[in-house]
Amino acid sequence: MHKGLWLLWLSISLCTVAWAQQSKDITGKWYGVTKSYYGDKQRLTVVLEKEGDGYKGELRNPDDDEAITLDHIIYRQDTLLLRIDTIKFAYTGVWNEASKQFQGIFTWNGQQGEFNLSRREIRQSDIYKRPQEPKPPYPYYTDQVKFSNEHDHVSLAGTFTRPAEWGRYPVVVLLSGSGPQDRDDEMAGHKTFLVLADFLARNGIASLRFDDRGVGASGGAYEKSNIYDFAGDANAAITYLKTRKDVDPYTIGLLGHSEGAIIAQIAAANNKSVAFVVSMAGPGITGRQLVDQKVIMDGRMAGESDAEIKARVESLKPYWDALASDTNYVVAATRAKSALRDIYRASPEEIKKQVSEETFVNDIHFDRELSSILLYKPLDYLKQIKCPFMAINGTRDMQVEATTNLNAIERALRENGNMLVTIRKFDGLNHLFQRCKTCTVGEYGDLEQTIDPLVPEFIAHWILQLPPRAR
């Protein structure tokens, strides 16, 4: 939260009774939309009623039909403050007469962003415009399927898509990025894998996309899994596809986006069942190196000097080194908290005034998945992949820098004898392969384009021109 607004909130929240000398009646419904770090949008409605000299009310989610009572409501001199202690939600908004709305900032479980409230009702259709998203009826065949990872005793559910005419088709297993993802790899209202599967089916290629463990119709527990478990799920998908009569068992490939590209690398290593690999915004450098690279890119995006960026990398180094110090993520997290405590104590007094040491130290989310990514070394797996491999990135990717990672992937594959390598950079595209403007991650949801049409076209053409495999 901005320092000035934080101090205002602190001073007013010390009051034990909500009181007001309001300039207007604010009872009734107020509508707004929050936006997450990655651009995901959520409709929220604030409902206020008079109660004595103050107000009572609820925060409602119209999409889930949920409502939470507001613990604190303060309205004074055109400034509105709301708080819900149980979910760590706080909002500070100031009335803008020109736009007829409260303009402000919210914090929610550590996330922060803009949140404006007006009397204008917001419909679900107002949130996202996604012109590329296909709508049924589809001119191809779709099948809702289930298969199992027998090794881990996990049932997985997904959608198989192929051209309408019966035949044996080349097929791609689509592997989603980090975090619990559904079969469409949905982020910020963009269903990237749905759009991709649609294009592939219209161009003679089948696909299988499935919900991550613990997501949608799939069983298992996502939070107890890591990238190697997910690679096992990818191999289970391949095993299932070999049983289908409408699939060419010799032309089953893997396509992974971001973390999904890591999973594809692991699953394809020394695996003769994998006919090809498509890596979309996948890493070629280690997980630990990716962290420093991300800090550098963020700094440059913010216009910081090289000296400032270098100082930040050095200051955070003990923390990230601690997280990458042990395969036991609990041990690594404990060491990281100790490093954070040292960082806090060496921080300027300005920082210490805004956050307590315990809050700073305990503001850490680290699990098996993140630990496995941080410790991941692509070279160990890329050198074992002998099938055709295509790696693509957008030049404006602010999460996985294109040149460094593509060069590392190509070098690892070719130095170990794989000459069937295609590398391509798409100019002006971000991490989701959208044609971007600011190219920040927060812009993902603002862009109407789900994926630049050149990308699925390039992928499909590459797959269809692959040489036939020995049978």
* pLDDT tens by residue, 127-136: 889 999 999 9
Which of the four pLDDT bands, split at 50, 70 and 90, describes residue 471? low
| Entry pTM | 0.85
Q: Indicate the average pLDDT of the chain.
A: 91
Which of the four pLDDT bands, split at 50, 70 and 90, describes residue 17? very low
Q: Residue 415, CB half-sphere, CA atoms under 13 Å: how many?
A: 11
| 239 sits in which H/E element | helix 227-241
The answer to whether residue 9 scores a pLDDT higher than 90 is no
Calculate the CA dihedral of residues 127, 255, 381, 365 and round it to 10 degrees: 20
The answer to whether residue 36 scores a pLDDT higher than 80 is no
Which of the four pLDDT bands, split at 50, 70 and 90, describes residue 210? very high
The answer to whether residue 183 scores a pLDDT higher than 90 is yes
Mean pLDDT of 161-168: 97
pLDDT over 70 percentage in the chain:
94
pLDDT in tens, 431-454: 999 999 999 998 999 999 999 999
- Which of residues 355 and 289 earns the better pLDDT score? 289
CATH numbers and ranges of domains, the chain: 3-127 (2.40.128.120), 140-286+376-464 (3.40.50.1820), 287-373 (no CATH)
pLDDT in tens, 365-421: 889 999 999 999 999 999 999 999 999 999 999 999 999 999 999 999 999 999 999
Which residues are CB-neighbours of 71 under 8 A, at least 6 positions away? Answer: 83, 84, 85, 86
One-letter amino acid at 44 equals L
Nearest to 383 by CA among 353, 438, 421: 421
Lowest mean pLDDT among 22-31, 162-171, 179-188, 279-288: 22-31
Q: Do residues 213 and 156 make contact, with C-beta atoms less than 8 angstroms apart?
A: yes
Which of the four pLDDT bands, split at 50, 70 and 90, describes residue 1? very low
- Which of residues 471 and 56 earns the better pLDDT score? 56
DSSP notation for 271-339: -TT--EEEEES--SS-HHHHHHHHHHHHHHHTT--HHHHHHHHHHHHHHHHHHTS-SSHHHHHHHHHHH
Mean pLDDT of 28-53: 89
Lowest mean pLDDT among 16-30, 59-73, 139-153, 229-243: 16-30
pLDDT over 90 percentage in the chain:
79
pLDDT in tens, 267-295: 999 999 999 999 999 999 999 999 999 99
One-letter amino acid at 388 equals P
